[in-house]
């Protein structure tokens, strides 16, 4: 049944996004997952054997998310509740809105653009130039298309709502505790590694969708630059986005006051970019989403 529910779930998400009136009254499932991660973090991330405790936390998250997903899917309502929850766990409309907001803010002023992009990236924004803001927004768009749309949709096809819930729980855990810091280096190891595994196929699928949706069929520059990224997965959608928009991404940036000279992705592309290129990235998100929707529809007919 999962295959037949995915396309409708994608359409519901695209139409409604994240209605504020609902999530102002009830906690979003991602918020609940975050609370579970925090609860485990407070109780397990201390003392000796933190790596083993991190493994235990991942197992508990997977069991809990999978069990809840299975219970929802088992409700005898012809899949309606499963469809609704799947739509909630997809993030196409909200992603495009957040990215477009950066373009709109950057058109007002550089300061507005910095404030807007700070909402969606973790790097330092205080000294960003106009092209820096645009690059950060486009990179976030590409990476979150994979993490927030294609990956959950992929796992929904593979294992229904339980698999989708497990993916979202691990992805949430990775974003919260999967950091290379003294506090999380050991404890967050399991969530970070499992997140890498779960995103391996979706990240490369996202790159294919971005490229094919724009008529780009030469994988060589994407494969060349994807491996330059510090993440084993995020570089794939980012490289594809850079190529189809003909803009250079990545490059130097600052985290916590420390400048890091990352290599350029698609160095042949334009570097003096701004809100127009961000708008083009939003359009690219929808073109890739459209390609994914066609695939979902075709699979549902098989």
Percentage with pLDDT > 70 across the chain: 100
* Count of beta carbons in the 10 Å neighbourhood of residue 125: 19
User: Above 70 in pLDDT, residue 1?
Assistant: no
Q: What is the pLDDT of residues 114-147, one digit of tens each?
A: 999 999 998 999 999 999 999 999 999 999 999 9
**Helix boundaries (H) for the chain:** 2-16, 20-23, 29-44, 50-73, 80-89, 92-108, 110-117, 130-145, 151-177, 189-213, 220-226, 235-245, 275-301
3-state secondary structure of 185: coil
Read off the pLDDT of each residue in 59-81 and give the average, rounded to a whole number.
Answer: 96
Burial class of residue 283 (count of CB atoms within 10 Å of its CB; 0-12, 13-18, 19+): middle
The chain-wide mean pLDDT, for the chain, equals 95
In this prediction, residue 62 has a pLDDT band, given cuts at 50, 70 and 90, of very high
User: Above 90 in pLDDT, residue 22?
Assistant: no
């Amino acid at each position: 049944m999962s295959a037949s529910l995915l396309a409708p779930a994608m359409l519901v998400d695209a139409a409604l996004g994240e209605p504020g009136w609902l999530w102002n009254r009830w906690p979003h499932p991602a918020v609940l997952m975050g609370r579970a991660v925090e609860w485990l973090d407070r109780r397990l991330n201390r003392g000796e054997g933190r790596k083993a405790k991190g493994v235990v936390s991942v197992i508990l998250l997977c069991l809990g998310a999978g069990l809840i997903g299975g219970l929802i899917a088992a409700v005898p309502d012809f899949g309606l509740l499963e469809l609704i929850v799947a739509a909630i766990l997809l993030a196409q409309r909200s992603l495009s809105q957040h990215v477009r907001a950066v373009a709109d803010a950057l058109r007002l002023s550089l300061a507005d653009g910095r404030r807007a992009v700070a909402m969606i990236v973790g790097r330092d924004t205080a000294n960003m130039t106009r092209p820096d803001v645009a690059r950060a927004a486009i990179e976030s768009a590409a990476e979150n298309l994979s993490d927030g749309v294609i990956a959950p949709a992929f796992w929904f096809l593979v294992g229904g709502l339980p698999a989708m819930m497990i993916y979202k729980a691990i992805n949430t855990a990775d974003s919260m505790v999967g950091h290379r810091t003294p506090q999380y280096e050991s404890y967050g190891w399991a969530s970070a590694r499992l997140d890498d595994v779960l995103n391996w196929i979706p990240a490369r699928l996202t790159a294919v969708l971005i490229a094919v949706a724009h008529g780009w069929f030469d994988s060589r520059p994407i494969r060349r630059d994807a491996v330059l990224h510090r993440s084993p997965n995020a570089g794939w959608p980012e490289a594809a986005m850079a190529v189809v928009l003909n803009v250079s991404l990545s490059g130097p940036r600052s985290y916590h006051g420390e400048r890091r000279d990352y290599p350029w992705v698609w160095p042949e592309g334009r570097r003096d970019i701004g809100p127009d290129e961000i708008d083009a990235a939003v359009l690219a998100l929808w073109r890739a989403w459209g390609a994914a929707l066609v695939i979902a529809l075709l699979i549902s007919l098989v």
